[in-house]
A = this chain, B = another copy of it.
Amino acid sequence: MKTQSVREQLLEHTLVLIRRRGFNGFSYRDLAELVGVKTSSIHYYFPSKDDLVLEAVKEYSARLSEHLRAIDTTLPVTEQAEIYLGLFRKSCGSDQICLCGMLSTETLCLPESVHKLLQGFYLMHEKWLTGLLERAQPLRSTPFPVPPPRLAQVVFGALQSGLIAARLFGTTDRVEAAADTLVAAVTG
């Protein structure tokens, strides 16, 4: 485990707090106690809570972007799909949902700067899934019932909602249903 600066620790715990309880569900006090500093020290690195959430979304998006970039698009499409789905299955075991899935429900409480980043996160995933479906299209025996960009939106939405439901029900059913739909689409 690498040693982290205070700023890095603050950001790391912020990711967890948001993914567990949302922007309105945690306080500077919660964060300060987790890291072992006083709340005034948080303001040194992140002057306002809006600054903190903005940096948290940037960091989270960057990590996911790297994960997507690292998937070799010359692999068999089902393998690419399984690697992608692994990102969601990993989250299922914890009590944390997608940071951007959480924050997008709190849209009306967040600044415009955060909206932009959240939109970018959605588009990044949908674009990647669209690419996967298009690479799979020539291998299919029948055409898609809905066009790849639309199907990508449906699969991504079902996965996000599946994570939320996984925490509510304590089962991975809905994530697996979305996963099956994606796999069926690329193998159809």
A: residues with CB less than 8 A from B are 20-22, 24-25, 95, 97, 101-102, 104-109, 115, 118-119, 122, 142, 145-146, 150-151, 153-162, 164-165, 167-169, 173-174, 177-178, 180-181, 184-185, 188
Contacts and interface: CB of A to CB of B under 8 A. Distances in A.
Contacts of A180: 146, 150
| Interface of chain A, main secondary structure | helix
Contacts of A150: 177, 180-181
Nearest to A176: B150
Contact of A105 (B105, B162, B185): B105
Contacts of A157: 157-162, 165, 174, 177-178
A19 B131 CA distance: 34
Contact of A177 (B97, B106, B115, B153): B153
A181 B168 contact: no
10 contacts: A21-B109, A102-B105, A104-B164, A107-B167, A145-B188, A153-B174, A154-B154, A154-B177, A157-B178, A158-B161
